[in-house]
Copies of this chain bind each other. A is one copy, B any other.
Amino acid sequence: MIEKLLLKLRARDSLSPVEETALREGIAEVRDYPADKTFVREGELLNFSTLLIEGLVCRYKDLSGGERQIAAIHVPGDFVDLHSFSLKRLDHSIMTLSPCKVGIVPHDRLTKITETLPHLTRLLWFSTNVDAALHREWELSLGRRDALSRTAHLFCELQARLEVVGMAEPDGYDLPLTQTELAECLGLTNVHVNRTLKVLRERGLVDFRGHRVTIQDREALEQVAEFNRAFLYLDRRVF
């Protein structure tokens, strides 16, 4: 259940058997959700956090006119709303992008971890801080990268994150995202995304079709994106 989470955490630091057990025993229940299900609603009171075991989910915010901004995508092994442990209610909603399997981790079990396992606490705190780093990189994309660079950057980000949990090949990965959802990540219109994907494909950088991302030229793609994986904090550190 927590193998992909362990892969992610161990890319950064060592975990003791006691810490691993605490994580395993954190999961009270496993749930299956269909695609396009909003399973956490903005503002509702939460007493558990959700670990993504299989599938893709996103966090999103809507304006009153229905315009949606996706604020982050989560891949298996991500502790999707670990931040709800301290926030209690979220400022955004969380929706599955594909059929998903999730682990429900009651907040009282997380409280117990903070009372007894300070190193693991710091590691979990860290992982919410990495989520914030992803938000900042998206702010840079939305505010300053042009449509081509912005779209290229998202494909690079997902390649790197999926590689850590063994879900990407060197030449690409599955991405069950519609063009509309992609537009909602990128702050663009559907038409603009469609045109941008065409340019990326014709320039031999990346091809996104049929829910599959095929990286045609990773180096050139990363250059167009100004992609620097430092913001993913994948290097080893001591907590």
Alpha-carbon distance A131/B123, docked complex (angstroms): 18
Alpha-carbon distance A186/B142, docked complex (angstroms): 10
- List chain B residues, Cβ under 8 A from A131: 132
**A114 interfacial contact with B, CB 8 Å:** yes
**A155 interfacial contact with B, CB 8 Å:** no
Q: Pick from B69, B71, B139, B226: contact of A71, CB below 8 A.
A: B139
Alpha-carbon distance A81/B235, docked complex (angstroms): 19
Interface residues of A in 195-237 (CB under 8 A from B): 226, 230-231, 233, 237
A selection of 16 A-B contacts at a CB cut-off of 8 Å is A64-B226, A83-B132, A85-B125, A86-B126, A86-B129, A87-B133, A91-B231, A111-B118, A111-B122, A118-B121, A128-B132, A135-B139, A138-B139, A139-B142, A142-B143, A144-B187
Sort A-B residue pairs by CB-CB distance and give the 6 closest, nearest first: A143-B187, A135-B135, A132-B132, A86-B126, A142-B142, A91-B231
